[in-house]
Amino acid sequence: MIRFLSRRLLVGAIVVLGVVSLTFLLLHLAPGDPVVRLLGPTATGEQIEAQRRALGLDQPLVLQYGRWLAAFASGNWGVSIATGREVRWMIGHAWPATVLLVSLSLALSYLFGILVGTIQAVRTGTKLDTALSISTVTLFAVPGYWLGLMLIMVFTYWLKVLPAFGASGLDADFLTGWDRLVDRVRHLILPVTTLVLIGFGGMARFVRGTMADALAEPHIVVARARGLGVRRVLLRHALRNASIPLITLLGLSLPALFSGAVFIEAVFAWPGVGRVLVGAVQARDYPVVMAATVISAALVVLGNLMADLAVAWADPRVRDSND
């Protein structure tokens, strides 16, 4: 297991380095100059060149990349070109809001996905299964930003029952106790609902397939023929057999949900890492974009590693094969 873990960590580090290197290259080759955006259209050529020298943007790309990589590895994430704030502070300040949004969405997506997928597996071929399949496929295919905008239009502008933007109301500083909690929950409902509707559709399709295969196993068919209750068969046999793929999917869902949250945070003006990243890309704020890219790539690697470890823990056969 130690050898397996070391090998996966090495491969993960190579993947992160490759993603970061490609992002750095594409970011600098993309049209737009962060210095021009920073100084504005009235800046002279001399002022632009002086600022570029001050930021080190006049140096060759290889040298810029080497300096950034060495600084980042030493814990220096740099300073935002657009705001002048430390990148570590900006991401650290926005991180709790993203974690809250993603963790709630992931938990609810799994809950509803497993519930709906299990119902479909038990009722395979029925009208209920067909209706749920159409619904889940549709939700899985709908772009997240479009769904978010539709929810805003319906619940904010038409029904006027839920706020659409931000993590709290303008009067949040004057609220205490229960009123403050209610205000926070009301602002969470629409972005969480958007992520859950997108996430649970794919989850339900996956659970339906794995549960249907598990229910077709000979020992489960025999258990049902012996008169065991459906609930007991599902919980003690089918769901246990289907848990390995679900654990793997959980590890892969974490980075995917963070990626999806980038656009949702932009739509709902949620003060998380995604909103910071979108603003940084628009401003060509290289240090912020690179730091966010490292975090996203590391999450993908970490999610895969967590899934492998969880599967090895749940299935002794996998654990023994990696020793």
- Rounded to two decimals, the pTM is 0.81
Residues 6+ apart with CB under 8 A from 151: 190, 193, 194
Which residues in the chain land under pLDDT 50?
none
Amino acid at 312: A
- Give me the CATH code for the 87-322 domain, please: 1.10.3720.10
Look at residue 317 in the predicted model and tell me its pLDDT: 55
Look at residue 178 in the predicted model and tell me its pLDDT: 85
Closest CA to 105 of 256, 242, 246: 256
Look at residue 288 in the predicted model and tell me its pLDDT: 92
Q: Are 286 and 80 in contact (CB under 8 A)?
A: no
Query: What DSSP assignment string belongs to 270-309?
Result: --SHHHHHHHHHHTT-HHHHHHHHHHHHHHHHHHHHHHHH
Taking CA atoms, 54 is separated from 35, 50, 60, 104, 262, in Å, by: 10, 6, 14, 43, 31
Look at residue 240 in the predicted model and tell me its pLDDT: 65
Residue with tokens 């090495």: 10
Closest CA to 249 of 199, 212, 286: 199
Q: What are phi and psi of 86, to 5 degrees?
A: -70, 135
Look at residue 41 in the predicted model and tell me its pLDDT: 80
Give the start-to-end residue ranges of the domains of the chain: 87-322
